Amino acid sequence: MAEEEKKMEEEAKTSAEENTEKEKETDDAADTVAEADVLRAKVKELEDVVADLRDKALREAAEMENYKKRLRTEKENAVKYANEALIRDLLDPLDNFSRAIEAAEKSQDFETMRQGVVMVEDQLHSILAKNWGLEAYSPDGEDFNPSDMEACMMQEQEGIDKEKVIQVFMKGYKLHGKVIRPAKVVVGKPKSN
């Protein structure tokens, strides 16, 4: 009987160990399922964050593209209409030239025609100087300065000690102080012995 009791005890012990192992496996399986659920939830959350970021990136890229298109259009318009104010300022003198031509066709009075053209020229110079910073210069009698004058001819002259402008072929023009067309001049130079 002692052997049978030992056998039964061993079977009971083995059975208890098996039950403990099964309970551990069940607990492990439950833990694994719980961990899997937590991981699925985390993956879903991260997928939502990625989708959100992707959507924001696409919207920002679209906004940037629209901004670039808007800048390009504004730049094209700025270039296209850059001289609009200048042209608007020149419309009155153009109209006055037309009136002068009509008056010349109706009348043979040369002096009136000349006065009209002089008035239009004065109006043009005034508009360009006041509104646009254009300055005409005629350096007759001044020392020759190659930075704002272009010598078309040179002539030897008595009684001068350095190169001087003796005749102006074309006036020069400066825009806000910068030479945009040098004066074309005849330069007198001292006679060489």
The whole-number pLDDT of residue 73 equals 95
How many separate domains does the chain show? 1
For residue 9, is it within any domain?
no
Per-residue pLDDT of the chain (193 residues; tens, 9 = 90+): 567 777 777 776 776 666 666 666 666 666 787 888 889 999 999 999 999 999 999 999 999 999 999 999 999 999 888 888 888 999 999 998 888 888 878 877 788 888 888 999 999 999 999 999 999 999 999 999 999 999 999 999 888 889 999 999 999 999 999 999 999 999 999 987 6
For residue 171, is it within any domain?
yes
- The 10s digit of each residue's pLDDT in 70-96 is 999 999 999 888 888 888 999 999 998
Cα distances (angstroms) measured from residue 187 to each of 50, 135, 160, 184? 78, 22, 11, 10
Domain range enclosing 177: 136-193
Global model pTM greater than 0.75 = no
For residue 84, is it within any domain?
no
